[in-house]
Amino acid sequence: MILVTGGAGFIGANFVLDWLALNGEPVVNLDKLTYAGNLESLASLQGDARHIFVQGDIGDSALVAGLLATHRPRAVVHFAAESHVDRSIHGAEDFIQTNIVGTFRLLEAVRGHWGALPEPERTGFRFLHVSTDEVYGSLAPDAPAFTETHGFEPNSPYSASKAASDHLVRAWHHTHGLPVVTTNCSNNYGPYHFPEKLIPLMIVNALAGKPLPVYGDGMQVRDWLYVKDHCSAIRRVLQDGRLGETYNVGGWNEQPNIEIVRIICGLLDELRPRADGASYAQQITYVKDRPGHDRRYAIDARKLERELGWKPAETFATGIRKTVQWYLDHPEWVENVQSGNYRQWVQAQYGTPGAA
């Protein structure tokens, strides 16, 4: 049995689905079900006794302690986080509460549980903290990619809150001996991605005939990691990662944002052509850049390959085609996830009527 936090979110849901499909070990899934948590992503697990879903907050110490005592998981995989830069700029408090205070309370509950375990359960226990490359800050165009020893230089409220959570996890290992490992990943994409992030937003807007809002000049560079590859890396680190260590997880796929949008438009031109025969690229609209927008992230994932033998299975070309096809095949998921709150947020963020 393992406990997964945030397992109804984008990466968490993919992880839970893959975990149960590949090894069948039961999962207790704790998720607060904020706007980005979606049980429809886990619909295929309805009635599956191996999946125990609990709606709740990682900051609820009594709830977490009760789950640990009842289910006695051998590991905790911690995805739960507020994770959108734009939202953090407009309202940082949720990020502070969930990513910092919530992680602190989770660590304390887990520490109490772990400390009372008998051997060999205590020795075998693991706490895997899932984090982001954004804690490292921004890279110059010709700078080498982030390694695990790169200093933290977070530039947004979101990345600052995640950096703080990384520090807490490290401190609980060094101070209390809690058996932790941390992963810092690059930008994920793939199925079940909430359409506020770049790739799903572009797909959904394109199909709806709406503007494709691109920040600034669109030349912000990101490393793109297919979510299923990320999940395989987490499984590998959970199994054999060295205690107290950090492992960067990347896709070796650096691309500027505008090129990502053009690739998506090209795939949609091929797979779902517009009725008027024009390219979806005509819908690209440049909007005012967001404050403090980092220009480049890049992950050096060689440590993970060297120590644990992990490499991504997907190139960006194969992963993005699978992603676009998934959204074309699941319009009902997209429709149901787009709540009124989401549409209001996009209106406030981009200031473009219908840019949802």
Q: What is the DSSP string of 306-345?
A: HHH----S--HHHHHHHHHHHHHH-HHHHHHH--HHHHHH
- Mean pLDDT of all residues in 44-60: 96
Instruction: Report the C-alpha gap between 64 and 5 in whole angstroms.
Output: 10
Residue 345's pLDDT is 53
Length of the chain: 356
Tell me the pLDDT band of 268, cut-offs 50, 70 and 90: very high
Helix (H, G, I), strand (E, B) or coil at 188: strand
Residue of 38, 152, 154 whose CA lies nearest to 96: 154
Q: HSE on the CB side for 354, CA within 13 Å? A: 10
Tokens of 39: 């049980």
Domains annotated on the chain, with CATH: 2-189+225-251+296-313 (3.40.50.720)
Residue of 97, 96, 27, 104 whose CA lies nearest to 67: 27
Residue 195's pLDDT is 85
Instruction: Report the C-alpha gap between 188 and 33 in whole angstroms.
Output: 20
For tokens 């404050």, the residue is 291
53-56 own/partner pairs: CB under 8 Å, 24+ apart: 53/7, 53/8, 53/29, 54/28, 54/29, 54/30, 55/31, 56/30, 56/31, 56/32
Is residue 22 exposed (0-12), middle (13-18) or buried (19+ Cβ within 10 Å)?
exposed
Q: Is the pLDDT of residue 251 over 80?
A: yes
- Answer yes or no: 134 catalytic: yes
Instruction: Report the C-alpha gap between 202 and 327 in whole angstroms.
Output: 11
Q: Is the pLDDT of residue 107 over 80?
A: yes
Tokens of 194: 């909430």
C-alpha torsion sign, points 32, 34, 39, 42: negative
Catalytic residue, candidates 158, 192, 215, 280? 158
Residue of 332, 339, 342 whose CA lies nearest to 43: 332
pLDDT 10s digits, 143-200: 999 999 999 999 999 999 999 999 999 999 999 999 999 999 999 999 999 887 899 9
pLDDT 10s digits, 312-335: 999 999 999 999 999 999 999 988
Catalytic residue, candidates 31, 57, 86, 134? 134
Residue of 274, 282, 267 whose CA lies nearest to 322: 267
- Answer yes or no: 133 catalytic: yes
Q: Report the 10 Å Cβ neighbour count for 44.
A: 12
Using an 8 Å Cβ cutoff, are 10 and 16 in contact?
no
pLDDT 10s digits, 274-293: 999 999 999 999 999 888 78
Residue 78's pLDDT is 98
* DSSP symbol at 153: -
All residues at 6 or more sequence positions from 289 whose CB lies less than 8 Å from its CB, including other chains: 215, 216, 217
Catalytic residue, candidates 57, 82, 133, 300? 133
Using an 8 Å Cβ cutoff, are 202 and 268 in contact?
no
Residue 354's pLDDT is 33
Q: Report the 10 Å Cβ neighbour count for 131.
A: 24
CA 224 → CA 207, 320, 322, distances in Å?
22, 10, 14
Helix (H, G, I), strand (E, B) or coil at 272: coil
- Mean pLDDT of all residues in 113-119: 97
- Which of left, alpha, beta for 209 (phi over 0: left; psi -120 to 50: alpha)? left
- Answer yes or no: 289 catalytic: no
Residue of 220, 258, 248 whose CA lies nearest to 136: 248
